[in-house]
């Protein structure tokens, strides 16, 4: 048999070093994966809001006011979004504020506000007509109609939870 066991004393130390390095790599991979998942759900929330705003813009540009016609789209607001407010620059802003904006409030507390050239508002009976329209996480069927509110045209959002 072999009588040379000079390196045997360092085997436990090598094992510990390999285990620590593996743990660091696994922690880094988990951190990276959660960051990518968070960014992708943020992108999904932003995409849902932009889709509604673009449909409102198209309906406002081509639609006839007060005809009852409108465009229906299905919208999924992901769980990473606390709420999306159309017709206000921030959540809870008064109806006489900036109606040509929409704001996205994320679950982590960050906010994004986007301006649009179309006045947006709520058409649902559960919300003040012409006031801010609010979508919370979930799946909705949103109908966008151009209607007259207080003498001016607005793209009103009628949402129904699915």
d(CA 1, CA 53): 79
pLDDT at 150 over 50: yes
Is residue 145 a part of any domain in this protein?
A: yes
Give 1-7 contacts, CB < 8 A, sequence gap 24+. Answer: none
Is residue 59 a part of any domain in this protein?
A: yes
What's the confidence (pLDDT) of residue 128?
75
Confidence of residue 95 (pLDDT cuts 50, 70, 90): very low
Q: Do the Cβ atoms of 103 and 45 come closer than 8 Å? A: no
pLDDT at 139 over 90: yes
Is residue 108 a part of any domain in this protein?
A: yes
DSSP reduced 3-state for 134: strand
Domain span at 14: 9-161
Is residue 1 a part of any domain in this protein?
A: no
Q: Among residues of the chain, what percentage have pLDDT more than 90?
A: 14
Tell me how many domains the chain contains. Answer: 1
Say how many residues make up the chain.
Answer: 162
Is residue 66 a part of any domain in this protein?
A: yes
Is residue 78 a part of any domain in this protein?
A: yes
Is residue 4 a part of any domain in this protein?
A: no
- Per-residue DSSP letter, 131: S
Residue with the bigger pLDDT between 9 and 58: it is 58
Is residue 2 a part of any domain in this protein?
A: no
Q: What is the DSSP string of 43-111?
A: HHHHHHHHHHHHHHHHHHHHPPTTSS--EEEEEEE-TTEEEEEESSSSTT--TTS--SEEEEEETTS-E
Half-sphere exposure of 68 (CA within 13 A, CB side): 0
């Amino acid at each position: 048999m072999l009588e040379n066991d000079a390196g045997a004393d360092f085997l436990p130390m090598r094992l510990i070093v390999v285990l620590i390095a593996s743990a660091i790599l696994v922690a880094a991979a988990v951190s990276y994966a959660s960051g990518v998942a968070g960014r992708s759900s943020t992108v999904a929330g932003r995409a849902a809001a932009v889709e509604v705003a673009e449909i409102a813009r198209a309906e406002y540009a081509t639609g006839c006011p007060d005809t009852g016609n409108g465009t229906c789209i299905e919208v999924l607001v992901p769980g990473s979004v606390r709420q999306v407010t159309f017709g206000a620059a921030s959540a809870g802003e008064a109806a006489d504020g900036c109606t040509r904006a929409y704001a996205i409030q994320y679950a982590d507390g960050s906010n994004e506000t986007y301006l649009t050239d179309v006045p947006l508002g709520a058409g649902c009976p559960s919300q003040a007509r012409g006031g801010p329209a609010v979508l919370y996480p979930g799946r909705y069927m949103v109908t966008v109609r151009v209607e007259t509110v207080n003498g001016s045209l607005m793209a009103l959002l009628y949402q129904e939870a699915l």
